Amino acid sequence: MKKFIAYCGLDCEACEARIATINDDSTLRKKVAKESSELNGVEITAEMINCVGCRTDGVKTLYCESLCPIRQCAKDKYETCGDCSEAALCEKVKMITDNNPDARHNLKF
């Protein structure tokens, strides 16, 4: 499994929060913060947009580090949710895979 595939199957290499972090891109951080604030109905500042990937060592956004129910479930048990025998039926994972066929493909179920 590629190290930048998140537990849920999303590709962290394509994540704008990671791209902004890796490139230290303040304009992209502002864009991601604005979109995330609107999506989640809470204020997210550009300074909060720092992440190097879900399954890698290093900084993560607050959501990815502490709030993501998928990561919280899988991080101490599986390389990704694709290793879980219940993943195809998991409501948490389906929130991602039902809307992202690439994530489903990355989990191989």
* Residue 29, number of CB atoms within 10 A of its CB: 22
Q: What is the pTM of this model?
A: 0.88
54-61 long-range CB contacts below 8 Å, 24 or more apart? 54/6, 54/7, 54/8, 54/10, 54/12, 55/3, 55/4, 55/5, 55/6, 55/7, 55/12, 55/79, 55/80, 56/3, 56/4, 56/12, 59/21, 61/17
Q: How many domains does the chain have?
A: 1
* 98 part of a folded domain: yes
Residue range of the domain that includes 31: 12-107
* 80 part of a folded domain: yes
70 pLDDT above the threshold of 90: yes
Give the pLDDT confidence score for residue 102 in this predicted structure: 95
Instruction: Identify the band that residue 1 occupies on the pLDDT scale cut at 50, 70 and 90.
Output: low
Give the pLDDT confidence score for residue 3 in this predicted structure: 87
* 24 part of a folded domain: yes
b or e along 69-86 (b: 16 or more beta carbons within 10 Å of the residue's beta carbon)? ebbebbeeeeebbbebee
Encode pLDDT of 14-68 as tens digits. 999 999 999 999 999 999 999 999 988 899 999 999 999 999 999 999 889 998 9
At position 108, the amino acid (one-letter code) is K
Give the pLDDT confidence score for residue 40 in this predicted structure: 84
109 pLDDT above the threshold of 90: no
Encode pLDDT of 78-100 as tens digits. 999 999 999 999 999 999 999 99
* 6 part of a folded domain: no
Q: How far is 70 from 60, CA to CA, in rounded Å?
A: 15
* 77 part of a folded domain: yes
* 7 part of a folded domain: no
* 52 part of a folded domain: yes
* 101 part of a folded domain: yes
